[in-house]
Amino acid sequence: MSTTAPVAEKAAAAKRPKRYSRRVVVGLSGRYLTLCLMLVVLVGPIVWQFLTSLKGRGESVYEGVLPSDPTLDNYARVADAFPLFQYVGNTLIVAALAITSNCLFAAMGGYALSRAGWRGRKTVFTVLIATLMFPFESVMISMFLTVREMGLVDTLVGVWLPGAVSVLNLMIMRAAFLAVPKEVEEAAVLDGANEWQRFRRVFVPSAKGALAVVCITSFMGAWDDFLWPLIVLTNSDNYTLQLGLKTLAGATTVNDQRLIAAGAMAALLPMLLLFFALQRYFFRGVGEGAIKT
């Protein structure tokens, strides 16, 4: 066996170059073909929705993929059909609150959790992890009662407050602060920095990437969420974008797919832009809380 192997290999090597490259070409084109197929499956519906939103009123929604006469008319009309800008404004208020509170409180809490040697650290950590076990849907009724007790039903603050700090974000910040070398902290102590100064000047600047992840997850949560706003908000003046979109689609007066497509695109495009601009943070967010808790 061991004596025949080199011989066989030599023979194969002589034949290889041509066959090998053809196999690569076939394999590669097969791969690209499959990739394109998956692209059609996963992105096709979104692109189609976008193209539909550009179709004029006279054009059939189903016939032909490309709009024959692209127009932004539907986007103007959708703003008339429902208070789009008000809903976007409401959503942005919730998102701004969520980003601020999550960054601030998660950073502070994560800092405390990352520091060793204080009483109760383990208990606090265990309690926080335990709360991750409760699916939102199984506590939403009680959550609603709490928010009602606080007089926050039908307010944007009521939409924001329960998500004001997420435990996942606490853990992301904790992991980031754990990575700060002890020597850096000690150097700051020697320079006479107090605890808050160390947190603010040494730790926070070293965890910018993690903060970006927290910002993005908070924004995405506020922008995309549906069920909780649906429970808290009753007056349509206070609706967030997703709620408004559902109402628009459900309204019998609006039976125009181009209009609904325009509304959906208005809700999707900002997220898409953000994603393509900052995608490494999106992907990091998936891994981050996952690996280093």
Task: Compute the distance between CA of residue 169 and CA of residue 185 in angstroms, rounded to an integer.
Answer: 22
- Minimal distance in Å, beta carbon 279 to another protein? 6
- Minimal distance in Å, beta carbon 70 to another protein? 19
C-alpha angle 138-228-101 in degrees, rounded to nearest 5: 105
The tokens 């690996």 sit on which residue? 291
- Minimal distance in Å, beta carbon 91 to another protein? 11
Q: Which residues contact 99 (CB under 8 A, 6 or more apart)?
A: 215, 218, 219, 222
C-alpha angle 265-251-219 in degrees, rounded to nearest 5: 40
- Minimal distance in Å, beta carbon 113 to another protein? 7
Q: Which residues contact 101 (CB under 8 A, 6 or more apart)?
A: 160, 164, 165
- Minimal distance in Å, beta carbon 31 to another protein? 7
Cα pseudo-dihedral 25, 31, 35, 40, rounded to 10: 80
Looking at the Cβ atoms of 76 and 178, the one nearer to another protein is 178
Looking at the Cβ atoms of 32 and 85, the one nearer to another protein is 32
Looking at the Cβ atoms of 79 and 254, the one nearer to another protein is 254
Q: Which tokens go with 40? A: 């059609």
